[in-house]
Amino acid sequence: MSESTGTDPEPTRFDLVVIGSGSGNSLVTPDFEDRRTAVVDRGIFGGTCLNVGCIPTKMFVHAAEVAHTVRDAARFGVDATLDRVRWDDVRDRIFGRIDPISDGGRDYRRDAPHTEAFLGHARFVGDRELEVRIAHPGGAHEVGSVHRIRGDQVVVAAGSRPHIPAVIADSGVPYHTSDTVMRMDELPASMVVVGGGVIAAEFAHVFSALGVRVTVVSRGERLLSQVDAEISRAFTELARDRWHVHLRAAPVAARRGGDGVELELADGTTVTGEGMLVATGRVPNSDGMGLDVAGVQVRPDGRVEVDQHGRTTAPGVWALGDVSSPYQLKHVANHEARVVAHNLVHPEDLWSFDHRYVPAGVFSHPQVATVGLTEAQAREQGYDVTCKTQAYGDTAYGWAMEDTTSLFKLVADRRTGHLLGGHAMGPHAASLIQPVIQALSLGGPTGPLTALQLARGQYWIHPALAEVLENALLGLEVAPYEDVTADYDPQGEDAAAS
């Protein structure tokens, strides 16, 4: 390794340098086992999803669901009480599992003969050449040391970080983000959640289910405004029953006071809480990396510009995940990592990103899942739109659950019967929507499966909850089943001959 001393020595050469240890870490495939690879990360090893995102949040969500189930048990004839929530035990159970995984990944990269881990900030100083300042202990390099490295190929997979509105950042009041709130020492009695998107909805559920009085402040007209409007409106109405919700309410001032923090809103309202969580989105970690020195262009929103293969505007430099993708989702970053991993070693046979049907889930209460076009998007694109919204409660298992609020909405092309999108709100929404993802993604040469092919081309277990999707498919006003299956023989020629 090379360490900067006054007169810069030749940089240490690697076959591959990966900036970011989340999905970027999976780029170190068997193709690179006989080559030298450097993995650089300025945060906690393992990336956002493992440490401060998908995995710990869903572990907290599960604890919240357990607490909610206990409180809701009486309506099913089961008398139960929630004695208390042991926040320390909830938190420590989760990070007692996650932290060793992060440490193990770091140690593996540090100790493997063909890889080297640099736990610090990377900055381009030339063509595929970087300066890394070590910021964290646990690696093979001394904290504060500076190293110059060069990669035959470089992948920027540096992820994203929470966005903090200036009115809060400049106020001096204490606040949490999704990066810090899960490791709080104590559970506050009340909390103000600033934001109306996925992160806000999930944490509002977690903390309210664990007994915290939650106030949600959103500048939008609805919560989860990025999903289909019908689902968003229904979610917002249910949220009002659980949380103190302020819509069209941008914060204009923040100060200490009240229970701990006071937030003044544009409409003159003041809300207070012992704690405050800022959940107003995330921004790419593209700044401060010297990307301009390397010839890597950045979009106005901060995302690194890439083509359909993951190539940046600089030869030999690639990017993937939150730092460049329009989708800040772990499953998208993993997909992009698989594509880039192939392209790194097969320049003559480049794969392309497939962003046609990107699904997303919101693990709040109720759960929300979505894929494909919303009704409004389908109409804007000129389709002859037909929709069906099916209530969970109109199926046998929905009756068993005494469900009165959950919905599954489908969007389809009336003329062809092809599905265009699916949007669910209720228990297990993120699992129930998977057949729609499959129908959209794995259709034939003429496009996605039709609604009736999906509905009648397979069995549906009765009385499973998935019947809500079957009924929604059958409720769409599309071409008759005989028309869309004219060339389909479900039993094959042999059965017909017999």
Catalytic positions, please?
462
Q: Which helix (H) or strand (E) holds 412?
A: strand 407-413
DSSP one-letter string for 142-157: -TT-EEEEEEEEEEE-
User: Measured between alpha carbons, how far is 37 from 168 in angstroms, rounded to an integer?
Assistant: 40
User: Measured between alpha carbons, how far is 89 from 38 in angstroms, rounded to an integer?
Assistant: 37
Among residues 61, 51, 25, 46, the alpha carbon closest in space to that of 361 is found at 61
Do 436 and 371 touch, CB atoms closer than 8 A?
yes
Do 313 and 305 touch, CB atoms closer than 8 A?
yes
Do 90 and 209 touch, CB atoms closer than 8 A?
no
Sheet hosting strand 260-265, strand order edge to edge: 251-257, 260-265, 270-273
DSSP E strands in 9-71: the ranges are 12-19, 37-40
Cβ-defined contacts of 27-31 (< 8 Å, 24+): 27/155, 27/157, 27/337, 27/340, 27/341, 27/344, 28/109, 28/115, 29/341, 29/345, 31/341, 31/344, 31/345
DSSP structure class, residue 42: S
User: Measured between alpha carbons, how far is 286 from 303 in angstroms, rounded to an integer?
Assistant: 7
* Phi and psi torsions of 147, nearest 5°: -130, 140
User: Measured between alpha carbons, how far is 220 from 328 in angstroms, rounded to an integer?
Assistant: 20
Q: Give the ranges where 213-267 is alpha helix by DSSP (H).
A: 229-242
User: Measured between alpha carbons, how far is 440 from 419 in angstroms, rounded to an integer?
Assistant: 7
Exposed/middle/buried for 254, CB within 10 Å: 0-12, 13-18, 19+?
buried
Retrieve residue 243's tokens: 């949380």
- Nearby residues of 105 by Cβ (< 8 Å), 6 or more positions away: 21, 25, 45, 46
Retrieve residue 307's tokens: 């083509």
Q: What angle do CA 154, 155, 156 make, to 5 degrees?
A: 120
Task: Give Cα separations from 369 to 130, 364, 477 (angstroms).
Answer: 40, 10, 23
